[in-house]
A and B are shown apart, each in its own frame.
Chain A
Amino acid sequence: MISGGPILRGFRWRWLRNRLFSFRSLTALLASLVGFILVLMVVFLALYAWPAVRLNGTGFLTQNSWNLGNLYGNPITVHGQQILPGAEYGILFLIAGTLLSTAIALLIAVPFGVGAAMFLSEGVPPPVRPWISFFVELLAAIPSVVYGLWGYVVVIPFLGHHIFPLVVRWLGFLPFLGGPAGSGYGLFTAGFVLSLMIVPLITATLRDALVGQPPELRDGAMALGATRFEALRTVLLPAARRVLVGSTILATGRALGETMAVLMVSGNALNYLPSNIYTPISTMASFIVSQLDSALQDPTGMAVRSLAEVALVLCLISIVVNALARVLLHYQGRHLLRAF
């Protein structure tokens, strides 16, 4: 290699260009661009909502007082911010609605999901298994708005006119099951529809985990005298515990962010907490959709920023829940192979 000014410079530049524009680095750049979008979204939300965060303080999370104020009055200044007179933003009822509807969804989805997974893993002959499980997995593919349609047209009249009055009559002494039977729009209906959407997440992963267990586990249990079901219940299922927990958390993440189906069946409550399972509720996601256009009419912009604060809270909760699920599901000690 003859060393010399221009030749040396040229060589280095080519080296640099090869490194920068190599397939590997271009791909990496594209990939990190995506991560950048996510960070951008959260940062943008946080920045936009910051004035609202400062104004609302901790009362945002502890009070039931969502009030846009006098939309036709003149803005006043509170704590150095311009807001409409009477404006106040407290979303306790949203947090309650979101958490309670998700809790009910899990209460229904986990037992049914586990039961279905057990049935699918052991009770169905292997050739037929993929197609029968596929039928249940379809529940996850149906779009949220179609669930909303089904809920609105079929489930609400069914629950409101037939089931809820019966439950109130016969089981009304139990806590949260008594009181006015409502109209069908409410907490339980939302939870029920959500449960159907998330159950396949639990069933599919758990079934795969149960089927994928080393056969020695089952054989060993049966050699000790257990029946197939007992082997399933006492040995295989506990061995898949981490998968169950992980998929449940994933399901929670999905339920927390559901919008359209909940919007159509929840009853859209404002500023009150549910007293029983038939009471209307609102979730954070459905509230944003239903209130965004009203909020846009606030000339001070504080209403939209407060909605952005709601979105931020929801976003952070969802991200944390999903990250937790990933950690639990990936923590198998498996090597992450690179593609090249």
Chain B
Amino acid sequence: MTPALFLDDISCTFVSKDDRSQRYTAVANTTLAIAPGEFVSVVGPTGCGKSTLLNVGAGLLQPSTGSVKVFGSELKGINQRAGYMFQAEALMPWRSALQNVIAGLQYRGGDEKQAEELGQQWLARVGLKGFGDRYPHQLSGGMRKRVALAQTLVMDPDIILMDEPFSALDIQTRQLMENEVLELWNAKKKAVLFITHDLDEAIAMSDRVVVLSAGPATHPIGEFIIDLPRPRDVAEIRTHPRFVELHQQIWAVLRDEVLKGYQQQKTAA
């Protein structure tokens, strides 16, 4: 089967603008394939280039070498079939929640009224019915994330890219959001590439977890199939014996990299 998103032997080297000899290879020789309908999480130590990988998949960043294929065809420019949920605040502060949700539909063109109806439906689906008129600064952090989720999913993308979308949320809101995402994914079964530094989150949500090495020159060093039953509840699944077993296996691989990354950052500072 053609993968929904195929990162083929990707390397990314950043060159300092002021000094051409200053180079930093964030990602090296990484190959990653995500099947349609598959939920893949990528975990790794902080600062290892996870977001770089995601930006390559989104078409926001050109890889130094290697190629990106989307449903078998070479990616040029922005990945039109992907929706991207950013780690940082990405809502337009000058638009109300509803106007933010339907921004993508407006860009695509078409009937404004229909778009608004669809936007209202999605706001209701993420639990924000009646909040459509609020501006982002009038919403809490969790609500803003839910607007961002609706904004991404209203476009009905075939590939969903998520960059630590819930890392800024408190643990309760976070689990609620994780369950919501799982439920929405279960209904539509899109290909998901989920970046996180939280191993619990990765195991609880995914079909497959890919572990990245510490930077520089990050590459995958382990891959684990998560054979936990679905549908899952992210809070309850953590006590499942198989969850604990997988957690130990993956953590054994991840721990050394986390320590390595920490040491590097310490010496650099």
Real complex partners, A and B?
no
